[in-house]
A and B are shown apart, each in its own frame.
Chain A
Amino acid sequence: MSDALKIIQDPTLTYRQQLVNLARLGESTDDSIRYSDAYYAARKKGALCDLNEGVMPFRPRYICPDYELLFEKGCAFLELEPPKDLLEAVNVLEIFYCHVPSITTYPVYLGDLDKLLEPFVLKEDRAYAKKVLRLFLRNIDRVQTDSFVHADIGPEDTLTGRLLLELTEEMQLAVPNLTLRYDPERTSDEFALACVKCMLRTAKPSFANHRMFVKEWGKRYAIASCYNGLSIGGGGFTLPRLRLYECSLDAKSVEDFLENELPKYIDLQLEYMDKRVKFIVEQSSFFKTNFLVTEGFVRQENFTGMFGVVGLAECCNNLLHIADKKKGFGMNEAATALGIRIMDAIEKRVSEHVAPYCDAYDHRYRLHAQVGIDTDGMDDSPGTRIPIGVEPTMLEQLEVNEKFHPYFPTGTGDIFKFEETYLKTPEAVLPIIKGSLANGLRYFSGYLENNDVVRVTGYLVKKSEIEKLRQKKQSLNQVTLYGMGAQDGGHALDRRIQRHDESAG
């Protein structure tokens, strides 16, 4: 059966999902971007992975439009005037979102919704504003049917932020993903606690280390897709990844890996990125004719390439011949120290590479701890995470995370699953988040063990929707399929649960 026919006959795909898959298939019929033989060999080995990004990138992977500009001057191409009230504001956004491309075909950044909407919300009475926002969120969930759709709030407490939290709890939707930018001086404990409560019940918002991101990106940064730091008015061209475990398989020793194998794969991935970035900028029409560019909602110089890694834990364990992962990376000082050496080496080599374009970042790519994909199985844990199933105590897990999160301006994060008693004690969760962010954690996510909406590796799915797929029914959210794969292959929902009665080892 042809690949096209498989898609056309698949009973679990919605019409839109079929369309997206058929488009991917069409894209794959061209091979005008050619890479070196060494690149293809490394990819075949599984040491490099292109995340099925498609062979002919016809738009940047992630696009973060400047929605403030949209509200300021409207959009000529879409014939939208600047909004004058709340109803117009959400209508402008709903229309605009449908025209923001991405790797998923859905917009991965919806804007800083509290800041954008607050002036309009404050002019309405609370109940009316809440109703409008409810319909707005429903529109997003049913139209932008993909869990990589992401909105941001904070750091300040706002009425809009509060209403969005209330609605997020009441509506229990997987879309959109949500982040609180947390700043200890600007985010009140009261607002942060409201976010914790909402996070426990619905797996969102996550907490982003605002100060860390501002230092790297300036004030105008977005958290998009899973947990990706990018510039507002810019985005990410491409995101391939080193699968570090596979990269380590031919190394004769730690030194051989650091001196020969790792640099070889880094360079091959850089070659791949350079070619794709040049193609997107020079060959595809996006940066020449798309209204987002011509009207200034994004600027090409604000895009960068995202250099992804996965499987640091398994790489370190393999190089140190640690067979029992319970005694490996995360629980073993030598393995963790090797992880730091490896990350230092990656950071150094990538920062020495002069990238095409990426003007706003001194022509450099930025590192990304990729969250894994459903086909990774148990070979490569997400980014630099400790493998699922062998996590130590939460304290130790945070300590390890804090060492690795600073390497990744374009995103990393870890997820903590809490037992039910934490619902009654959100004030016991907040100090953990505050302490870890102060100690260098970049991004904290959590949820309660019995939720329907859960965070798989970085994105949200509903367990009930996974069940639908298992029964060969369609799920509106195209990410549910990844969630099922990650659950089956990577046991991604079986992470350690933070209980109150766990002792130090």
Chain B
Amino acid sequence: MMRAPVNRIIPFSNVDGPGNRTSIFFQGCPFNCLFCHNPETIHMCRGCGACVDKCPVKALRMDDGGRVAWDSGLCVGCDTCIHVCPHDASPRVRWMTVEEVMAQVRRAAPYIGGVTTSGGECTQQYDFLIALFREVRSLGKTCLVDSNGSFDFEADPRLLEVCDGVMLDVKAVDRSWSERLIGCDGEIVLRNLDYLLKAGKLQEVRTVIFPDRDADNETTVRYVAGHIGDACDYKIICYRPFGVRERYQKLLGEDTTDSAYAEGYARLARKLGAGRAFVV
């Protein structure tokens, strides 16, 4: 039976695509973005057990197979485990079947327009997503993928066939800035931008604006705006240090991006043809 590592499921979300949607967050991400707000979703648990003794309500224990076992009934969601994890992972991941995820989607179905898969990076579970989306669509609901663009959508088009759109992060365009910010050159992200646009499956593009990084911000915004035009929303997002790992907060600064500063980039994007650019 196919299973995928699910970090959490939010039955009602108003921030993961249009309308009210059930959001499913998968564990594991190939990027390691400095500004990641959910760093506990990046890696799989290695079973080191560093969190077990720290859990204040004893919801964690080592099982016979040397893995950390999590008791969701005892858990109070204090997040101590993810704060003490030395590997940017979480012990609270459930390996779920499509049917198990669908049981939760079916409950929410009367109240939602569709499902959004996110992460981590959900496209790492693409076989699972394809099977899941077929089920979701049979309920008459839409399926959106929230992606960092690391998956080559063109090389394996099966996922796009069953998904209604992709919400793509374009975090950096300049190669060296990309290597610093997300840990790779980002070339695949830009190829996906073009391909998704051509395929008519680009739901929205998002770029985070950093304080005092005029050149890098501008390069990214110019590139995206010049490519997408009016095809989809372009969400300009302010960098916020809250939730960012401390060691990277030092690199990126401890200030939140000023919204007026971000607004300047939204205006620039609109001037360059991205009529649906706005600050969120």
Which residues of A pack against B, CB within 8 Å?
A: 393-395, 398-399, 421-422, 425, 427-432, 434-436, 438-439, 498, 500-505
- Is the pair B112, A431 in contact by a Cβ cutoff of 8 Å? yes
Which residues of B pack against A, CB within 8 Å?
A: 8-16, 18-21, 72, 77, 104, 107-108, 110-113
- Is the pair B14, A395 in contact by a Cβ cutoff of 8 Å? no
- Is the pair B11, A500 in contact by a Cβ cutoff of 8 Å? no
- Is the pair A503, B111 in contact by a Cβ cutoff of 8 Å? no
- Is the pair B111, A432 in contact by a Cβ cutoff of 8 Å? yes
| Residues A394 and B12 in contact in the complex (CB < 8 Å), given A428-B19, A439-B110 | yes
Which of these, B11, B16, B110, B113, contacts A504 with CB under 8 Å? B11
Of chain B, the residue at the smallest CB distance from A431 is B20
5 A-B contact pairs sorted by A residue (CB < 8 Å) = A395-B111, A398-B111, A425-B15, A431-B19, A500-B16
Given contact pairs A428-B19, A504-B9, a sample of 16 additional A-B residue pairs in the complex whose CB atoms are under 8 Å apart:
A395-B12, A395-B107, A395-B108, A398-B111, A421-B14, A425-B14, A428-B14, A428-B21, A431-B20, A435-B111, A436-B111, A439-B110, A500-B16, A503-B77, A504-B8, A504-B104
- Is the pair A435, B110 in contact by a Cβ cutoff of 8 Å? yes
| Residues A393 and B18 in contact in the complex (CB < 8 Å), given A431-B111, A431-B113, A439-B110 | no
Residue numbers in A under 8 Å from B104 (CB-CB) = 504
Closest 9 CB pairs of A and B: A428-B14, A435-B111, A435-B110, A425-B14, A395-B11, A503-B8, A428-B20, A431-B20, A500-B15
Residue numbers in B under 8 Å from A399 (CB-CB) = 107
Tell me the complex Cα distance, A137–B113, Å. Answer: 37
Residue numbers in A under 8 Å from B14 (CB-CB) = 421-422, 425, 428-429, 500
A404: shortest Cβ distance to chain B, in Å?
17
- Is the pair A432, B11 in contact by a Cβ cutoff of 8 Å? no
- Is the pair B112, A503 in contact by a Cβ cutoff of 8 Å? no
Tell me the complex Cα distance, A11–B98, Å. Answer: 65
| Interface hub of B9, B14, B18 (most chain A Cβ within 10 A) | B14
Interface of A is mostly: helix
Residue numbers in B under 8 Å from A427 (CB-CB) = 18-19
- Is the pair B110, A438 in contact by a Cβ cutoff of 8 Å? yes
Tell me the complex Cα distance, A432–B19, Å. Answer: 9
A492: shortest Cβ distance to chain B, in Å?
23
Of chain B, the residue at the smallest CB distance from A398 is B111
Tell me the complex Cα distance, A504–B10, Å. Answer: 6
B116: shortest Cβ distance to chain A, in Å?
11
- Is the pair B20, A502 in contact by a Cβ cutoff of 8 Å? no
Residue numbers in B under 8 Å from A421 (CB-CB) = 14-15
Residue numbers in B under 8 Å from A500 (CB-CB) = 10, 12-16
B38: shortest Cβ distance to chain A, in Å?
10
Of chain B, the residue at the smallest CB distance from A428 is B14
Tell me the complex Cα distance, A501–B111, Å. Answer: 17
Residue numbers in A under 8 Å from B9 (CB-CB) = 503-504
A321: shortest Cβ distance to chain B, in Å?
20
Tell me the complex Cα distance, A501–B12, Å. Answer: 8
Which of these, B8, B12, B108, contacts A498 with CB under 8 Å? B12
Residue numbers in A under 8 Å from B21 (CB-CB) = 428
Tell me the complex Cα distance, A436–B108, Å. Answer: 10
Tell me the complex Cα distance, A409–B79, Å. Answer: 45
Of chain B, the residue at the smallest CB distance from A425 is B14
Tell me the complex Cα distance, A503–B22, Å. Answer: 10
Residue numbers in A under 8 Å from B8 (CB-CB) = 503-504
Tell me the complex Cα distance, A142–B8, Å. Answer: 50
Tell me the complex Cα distance, A263–B12, Å. Answer: 41
Residue numbers in B under 8 Å from A432 (CB-CB) = 12, 20, 111
Tell me the complex Cα distance, A385–B16, Å. Answer: 30
A245: shortest Cβ distance to chain B, in Å?
27
| Interface hub of B10, B11, B21, B110 (most chain A Cβ within 10 A) | B110
B41: shortest Cβ distance to chain A, in Å?
13
Of chain A, the residue at the smallest CB distance from B21 is A428
Tell me the complex Cα distance, A489–B107, Å. Answer: 35
Tell me the complex Cα distance, A439–B109, Å. Answer: 11
Tell me the complex Cα distance, A500–B77, Å. Answer: 16
- Is the pair B11, A393 in contact by a Cβ cutoff of 8 Å? yes
Of chain B, the residue at the smallest CB distance from A434 is B111
A395: shortest Cβ distance to chain B, in Å?
4
Residue numbers in B under 8 Å from A502 (CB-CB) = 10, 12
Residue numbers in A under 8 Å from B112 (CB-CB) = 431, 435
Residue numbers in A under 8 Å from B12 (CB-CB) = 393-395, 428, 432, 498, 500, 502
B153: shortest Cβ distance to chain A, in Å?
27
| Residues A429 and B108 in contact in the complex (CB < 8 Å), given A500-B14, A500-B15 | no
B127: shortest Cβ distance to chain A, in Å?
24
Tell me the complex Cα distance, A395–B10, Å. Answer: 10
Residue numbers in A under 8 Å from B15 (CB-CB) = 421, 425, 500
Residue numbers in B under 8 Å from A429 (CB-CB) = 14, 20
Tell me the complex Cα distance, A460–B108, Å. Answer: 30
Of chain B, the residue at the smallest CB distance from A399 is B107
Residue numbers in B under 8 Å from A436 (CB-CB) = 110-111
Of chain B, the residue at the smallest CB distance from A419 is B14
Tell me the complex Cα distance, A143–B235, Å. Answer: 48
Residue numbers in A under 8 Å from B11 (CB-CB) = 393-395, 504
Tell me the complex Cα distance, A430–B104, Å. Answer: 20
